[in-house]
């Protein structure tokens, strides 16, 4: 069984498909990465993909194409992307096993690189 860098919930896949359908420009998927930001260290980035960036990691889940910035791959391994709707807002969220902290306002997180040895062991027993 291949290990996916990240996966999507049904809600995230549905919302990404809506974004693609509503885009005024041709869009084939979403690009996810991280950038230095906020008081906790980094924030997630998301951009439309009209053409894949050479060298990006590619994930297809629930019929949705997601490209991952290779600089973010080690920090996103095992992440589940969701789309949550609350009374006053709606947003993409990331359930990331590599997250070690977050700021109080929720704008940034602290991430550590994935433990490749633990991943290899989990794959061997799967």
Confidence check: pLDDT of 121 > 70: no
User: Cβ neighbours of residue 110 under 8 Å, at least 6 residues apart?
Assistant: 40, 41, 42, 99, 100, 101, 102
Confidence check: pLDDT of 32 > 70: yes
Q: What is the pLDDT of residues 33-84, one digit of tens each?
A: 988 876 757 788 899 999 998 999 999 999 999 999 999 888 888 899 999 9
80-88: list long-range contacts, CB under 8 Å, 24+ apart: 80/6, 80/7, 80/8, 80/9, 81/6, 81/7, 81/8, 81/9, 81/12, 81/32, 82/8, 82/9, 82/11, 82/12, 83/9, 83/11, 83/12, 83/14, 83/15, 83/16, 84/11, 85/11
Give me the mean pLDDT over the 6-18 stretch. Answer: 95
Confidence check: pLDDT of 14 > 60: yes
Confidence check: pLDDT of 126 > 60: no
Confidence check: pLDDT of 1 > 50: no
User: Could you tell me the pLDDT band of residue 125, with boundaries at 50, 70 and 90?
Assistant: low
Mean pLDDT (the chain, rounded): 83
Torsional sign, CA 89, 87, 93, 14 = negative
Of all residues in the chain, what percent carry a pLDDT higher than 90?
41
DSSP state of 89: -
Confidence check: pLDDT of 104 > 70: no
- Cβ atoms of 59 and 5 closer than 8 Å: yes
Give me the mean pLDDT over the 11-39 stretch. Answer: 90
User: Cβ neighbours of residue 19 under 8 Å, at least 6 residues apart?
Assistant: 27, 30, 48
Predicted local distance difference test score (pLDDT) of residue 40: 59
């Amino acid at each position: 069984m291949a290990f996916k860098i990240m996966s999507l919930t049904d809600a995230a896949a549905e919302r990404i498909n809506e974004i693609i359908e509503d885009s005024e420009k041709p869009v084939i998927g979403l690009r996810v990465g991280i950038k230095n930001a906020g008081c906790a260290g980094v924030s997630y980035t998301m951009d439309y993909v009209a053409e894949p960036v050479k060298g990006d990691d590619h994930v297809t889940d629930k019929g949705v194409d997601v490209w991952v910035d290779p600089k973010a791959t080690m920090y996103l391994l095992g992440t589940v992307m969701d789309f949550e709707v609350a009374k006053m807002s709606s947003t993409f969220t990331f359930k990331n096993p590599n997250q070690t902290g977050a700021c109080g306002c929720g704008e940034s997180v602290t991430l550590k690189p994935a433990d490749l040895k633990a991943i290899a062991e989990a794959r061997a027993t799967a």
